[in-house]
Structure formats: structure tokens, C-alpha cells
């Protein structure tokens, strides 16, 4: 079964809006794992921090499954992140929306270069030397996959937002085909495949049907549903959706 990676950034964002201790992202991490999540994702965003500096070490201790941290490839951030030793780092460009669907980065040179024009190769090597898996956010594009293969990343994280925000059935079919073909190219190049950005309870079955996708990352949809039925049950419901989704996508 495809792995379910839960992002708790939205929980932290709601907490920070109210400037109070609730809802507690630490509790969400625990409940997500009890509910069946096989991984937890958080962001290390220096411009709009979701977590207090002292919380990262606690988060590392609470995650007993697989810890993924989303970061932009800035030197100061990389040095800090190494202190908590996550299992995986997902590199994202400037303009990536950590809790929204901002796509300013789509017309940039990413993943070939970061915002300063530097190649990602040194950043990737530095992380891999610390035994941290490296994932890179890409468009649903074979060209982006080839760049990541040349950079020798471990995974690619395919942006599903064009599919999840499609306006009609024809666009849904086309964009789902694009996701599936990109995943196939990545698998042929021996890259692991994860997918995220906008996936919810309605679109998860189609993503599950793409054989090459090893993991989906879901955040907002679970947080929204949790407001009505609780975080653990919201995760359990999504696990159930994935478990019973039709297998295989052509």
C-alpha cells in the first residue's frame, strides 16, 4: 500500500494565528502516527516559521516513523537542520507555499538552479553524506526528472496541484496522465517517487492508482476534516481511502 505522509504545518499555522498553544502540532504528530501515518512532514521556513526553535528537537523525538523536513536550500537553514537529523529533506524553491498553493516558482530554473543561480548539487551531496535522503520538488515534467537524475537525488516530489485544482473533467484526465507519465519516467531512472500539494480525500484514490508513487503527502485536507471528527480519525479515514482505492493506473 502507498505510504501516507502527514504534514502538520497547517496545525502549527492555525496555532500561530491565534498566538496560543492550541491546536498543538505535537499532539497532531502523535495522533497521526496512531491513526496510521507512515511518515510526518514539517517545514523549516526561516521567513515564516511554523515552530519555535526549541520545538524541532521535541518533534524529532515524537516521530517514530519517518521524519521529512521541507526546506529551501539556504546555507544557514541546512546547518541548523543537521542538528535534528531528519530521515529525509525535501528541497523546495523560493516561492513555494508551505500552507497554500503559491506557484511563483513554476517559471524559474528550479530544480536546475536555486533562486541565487547556484546548482543544488553541493547541497544534495552535503545532506547525503549525513545519511539523509534528499527529495526535490518538481513539476510534472520529464525534463525536471532528468535534472534530478543528473543531480543524483534519492527522490522526486511531484507537484500534484495542477491536477488537484483542475477545473473540469478533461483537465483532470490530462493532468492525471501527466502525473502518471512523470512518475513512470522517475521510476525508470531509479528515483523514488512521492507526490503532494492539494491531495485530499477525493483525489487520493487516483494518486494511489499510480503504481510508481511510493508516498503521498497530505496536510490541509486532514487538518480541515480533523476539525469535525478529530485528528486521529481523520488520518484513519484517509488510510482507509488509500487501502480501498483501485490499484493500477494506465
| Enclosing domain of residue 229 | 3-243
What share of the chain in percent tops pLDDT 90? 78
Residue 99 has pLDDT above 70, yes or no: no
**Backbone CA torsion sign across 231, 232, 238, 241:** negative
Counted domains in the chain? 1
pLDDT confidence of residue 38: 98
The answer to whether residue 59 is domain-embedded is yes
The answer to whether residue 9 is domain-embedded is yes
For 46-58, write each residue's pLDDT tens digit.
667 899 988 999 9
pLDDT confidence of residue 249: 63
Residue 250 has pLDDT above 60, yes or no: no
The answer to whether residue 248 is domain-embedded is no
What share of the chain in percent tops pLDDT 70? 96
What would the mean pLDDT of 24-41 be, rounded to a whole number?
A: 98
The answer to whether residue 175 is domain-embedded is yes
The answer to whether residue 250 is domain-embedded is no
The answer to whether residue 249 is domain-embedded is no
CATH number at residue 34: 3.20.20.70
The answer to whether residue 232 is domain-embedded is yes
Distance of CA 106 to the CA centre of its chain: 16
The answer to whether residue 152 is domain-embedded is yes
Residue 101 has pLDDT above 90, yes or no: no
Amino acid at each position: 500500500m502507498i505510504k501516507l505522509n502527514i504534514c502538520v504545518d497547517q496545525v502549527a499555522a492555525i496555532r500561530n494565528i491565534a498566538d496560543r498553544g492550541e491546536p498543538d502540532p505535537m499532539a497532531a504528530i502523535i495522533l497521526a502516527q496512531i491513526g496510521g501515518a507512515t511518515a510526518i512532514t514539517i517545514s523549516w521556513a526561516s521567513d515564516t516559521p511554523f515552530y519555535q526553535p526549541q520545538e524541532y528537537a521535541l518533534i524529532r523525538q515524537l516521530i517514530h516513523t519517518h521524519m521529512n523536513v521541507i526546506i529551501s536550500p539556504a546555507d544557514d537553514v541546512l546547518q541548523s537542520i543537521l542538528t535534528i537529523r531528519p530521515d529525509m529533506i525535501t528541497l523546495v524553491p523560493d516561492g513555494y507555499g508551505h500552507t497554500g498553493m503559491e506557484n511563483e516558482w513554476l517559471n524559474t530554473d528550479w530544480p536546475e538552479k536555486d533562486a541565487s543561480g547556484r546548482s543544488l548539487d553541493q547541497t544534495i551531496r552535503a545532506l547525503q553524506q549525513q545519511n539523509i535522503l534528499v527529495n526535490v520538488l518538481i513539476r510534472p515534467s520529464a525534463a525536471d526528472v532528468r535534472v534530478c537524475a543528473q543531480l543524483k537525488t534519492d527522490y522526486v516530489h511531484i507537484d500534484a496541484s495542477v491536477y488537484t485544482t483542475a477545473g473540469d473533467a478533461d483537465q483532470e484526465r490530462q493532468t492525471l496522465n501527466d502525473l502518471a507519465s512523470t512518475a513512470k519516467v522517475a521510476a525508470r531512472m531509479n528515483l523514488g517517487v512521492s507526490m503532494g500539494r492539494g491531495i485530499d480525500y477525493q483525489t487520493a484514490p487516483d494518486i494511489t492508482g499510480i503504481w510508481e508513487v511510493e508516498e503521498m503527502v497530505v496536510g490541509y485536507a486532514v487538518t480541515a476534516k480533523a476539525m469535525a471528527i478529530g485528528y486521529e480519525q481523520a488520518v484513519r479515514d484517509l488510510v482507509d481511502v488509500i487501502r480501498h482505492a483501485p490499484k493500477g493506473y494506465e
